[in-house]
């Protein structure tokens, strides 16, 4: 895999973390593909930017919810149009408790990676 793709995805995760921690949900949605799916493994799934944004709003209902993203592995397809990253997310409300995640990124028509499938264990 190209180290350039891994750096691009890790940079995107830093931006995700920044937008999330500052509750900038409109900006956060720009990181998602219009047809993206967010999955709370074994519990629920929402489709599209609007559905994802509404689900994220519910996470903030009880106040600020800061997170730290800990990427572990990133792999890309041979053609470089898709990448998968696995890692863990840590919320400040539960220090030391890590929630596994797996994200599929798809390049858009402008060559930018967007989150296409976002799955985590709530």
Q: What is the mean pLDDT of residues 74-78?
A: 96
User: Where does residue 17 rank: exposed (0-12), middle (13-18), buried (19+ CB within 10 A)?
Assistant: middle
Judge whether residue 1 has pLDDT over 60: no
- Number of neighbouring beta carbons within 10 Å of residue 12: 21
Which segment of 3-12, 27-36, 59-68, 84-93 scores lowest on mean pLDDT? Answer: 59-68
Asked whether the predicted pLDDT for residue 50 surpasses 80, the reply is yes
The per-residue pLDDT for 2 is 65
Q: Check pLDDT > 80 for residue 53.
A: yes
pLDDT of residue 3: 76
| 51-55, 57-61, 102-106, 111-115, range with the lowest pLDDT | 57-61
Mean pLDDT of the chain: 95
Residue 33, pLDDT > 80, answer yes
């Amino acid at each position: 895999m190209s180290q350039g793709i891994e750096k691009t995805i890790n940079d995107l995760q830093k931006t995700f973390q920044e937008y999330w921690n500052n509750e900038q949900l409109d900006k956060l949605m720009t990181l998602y593909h219009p047809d993206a799916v967010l999955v709370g493994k074994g519990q629920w799934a929402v489709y599209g930017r609007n559905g994802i944004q509404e689900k994220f709003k519910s996470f903030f209902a009880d106040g600020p919810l800061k997170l730290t993203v800990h990427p572990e592995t990133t792999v890309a397809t041979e053609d470089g149009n898709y990448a998968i990253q696995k890692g863990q997310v840590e919320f400040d409300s539960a220090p030391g408790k890590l929630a596994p995640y797996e994200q599929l990124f798809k390049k858009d028509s402008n060559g930018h990676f967007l989150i296409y499938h976002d799955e985590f264990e709530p």
